Amino acid sequence: MSTRTTPRSSGTRARRLIRPEDGRRNNIALVLQTLYDHSGLSRADLARQTGLTRVTVSDLVAELLDDGLIREAGPNEQVRPGKPGTALALVPDARDLLAIDLSDQVTLHGAILSLQGEVVHRVDRPLAGARGDAALATVTELARDLQRAATHPAAGLGVGSPGLVDADGVVLNATSLGWRDVNLAAHLEAALGLPADVANDANLAAQAEHRFAGGSANLLRLQIVGGLGAALLVGGTPVLGENSAAGEIGHVVVEPDGAPCRCGKRGCLETWLATPHLTQRLADDPGHHDEILAAAGRHLGTVLAPVVAVLDLSQVILGGPRDLLDGPLLAAAQATLTEDTRVDFRGPAQLTHSTLGDDAVILGAAALVLRRRLGVR
């Protein structure tokens, strides 16, 4: 390995990516992010990609090698004139990502993941109807279980909680857990002596689609269960909105004088899409199974169209029961959305069923640790 010492003036790309207030930590994150996304780059490749000088890159690479986060993986395959560089690669098990999903009202799910989002260990704890302090104690025990089971240094703990969660990891309100103003992140940090981050479960699921399932950086994710949960990602960044309710389209009226909704109005989208409503409609009229699903899909497509147009989204992902969603409903929603937003300067937004299954929140919690603790977005 030769350490290149030739200074290289940073180009316009560098000025665009690196702001004056950014320090060494941000540059480290930038190099790690680049290797996370493109394994096998040499130091010279990294300098080109990041716009940092080769001296700076060599220095940052040395620190990442020292930390064990990356390794030298032999000569770079891409032959260029001059001396071949040494390929660098992420070490996926250099750190354990600890993740907890609190969205299931029966069982709390925990997992240990590699840096690439591979689940390597799982721990569950029954919630057993616990609420308030008792629920908090159960979460803390689950976090300790994970910490004990970790076989590599832990980068941090990420938690996906139902309800409203502020940017500091305070759960402002989570009805199913009986929590109001619970500073969960601070509590877990103190209990474990480990960095902890907490965010809303639906928002984490959207980040997981982007980070681990090849999802667009501009996407809306809808979780369709008892109600409609929503999360919005624009430019890869979660968008929360004024009331942390961005993307919540469940109570947009699609059928004036339709079925009564729990919000007090009639004919909300939720009265068509929420699983209990949809199942009831199908049970009431079994002869029109596909037609009912298609009607629900058309309502969904109609509500999605202006959202997709305003935010220029390229993807809408549905989480929830596949037997209800992934068929006539999805097809009708896609057809309506495509037709209603058709224009020559933009391709149609793709509507898909989530491929992450029950692990969406766990993966999102791991993505949260990656982002907050290692700077990998």
268 contributes a contact to Zn ion by CB under 5 A = yes
263 contributes a contact to Zn ion by CB under 5 A = yes
Spatial contact of 310 and 343, defined as CB atoms under 8 Å apart: no
Q: Which stretch binds Zn ion (CB under 5 A): 124-132, 258-266, 288-296, 297-305?
A: 258-266
261 contributes a contact to Zn ion by CB under 5 A = yes
The least CB distance from residue 141 to Zn ion, in Å, is 37
Q: Which stretch binds Zn ion (CB under 5 A): 23-31, 181-189, 247-255, 299-307?
A: 247-255
Spatial contact of 161 and 201, defined as CB atoms under 8 Å apart: yes
Q: Which stretch binds Zn ion (CB under 5 A): 200-208, 255-263, 279-287, 363-371?
A: 255-263
128 contributes a contact to Zn ion by CB under 5 A = no
3-state secondary structure of 73: strand
Q: Who contacts 147 (Cβ-Cβ below 8 Å, separation ≥6)?
A: 98, 154, 157, 192, 194
Question: Which H or E element spans position 263?
Answer: none
Quickly count: other Cβ atoms within 10 Å of residue 367's Cβ: 27
**Order of strands across the sheet with 237-239?**
237-239, 228-234, 219-224, 315-319, 350-353
Q: Which residues pair with 173 in a beta bridge?
A: 164, 180
266 contributes a contact to Zn ion by CB under 5 A = no
- Distance separating alpha carbons of residues 252 and 66, to the nearest angstrom: 53
Q: Which stretch binds Zn ion (CB under 5 A): 26-34, 237-245, 266-274, 348-356?
A: 266-274
137 contributes a contact to Zn ion by CB under 5 A = no
The least CB distance from residue 260 to Zn ion, in Å, is 9
Nearer to Zn ion, 18 or 252 (CB): 252
225 contributes a contact to Zn ion by CB under 5 A = no
251 contributes a contact to Zn ion by CB under 5 A = yes
Token digits for 223? 């979780």
The least CB distance from residue 178 to Zn ion, in Å, is 24
Q: Which stretches of the chain bind Zn ion, using CB under 5 A? A: 251, 261, 263, 265, 268
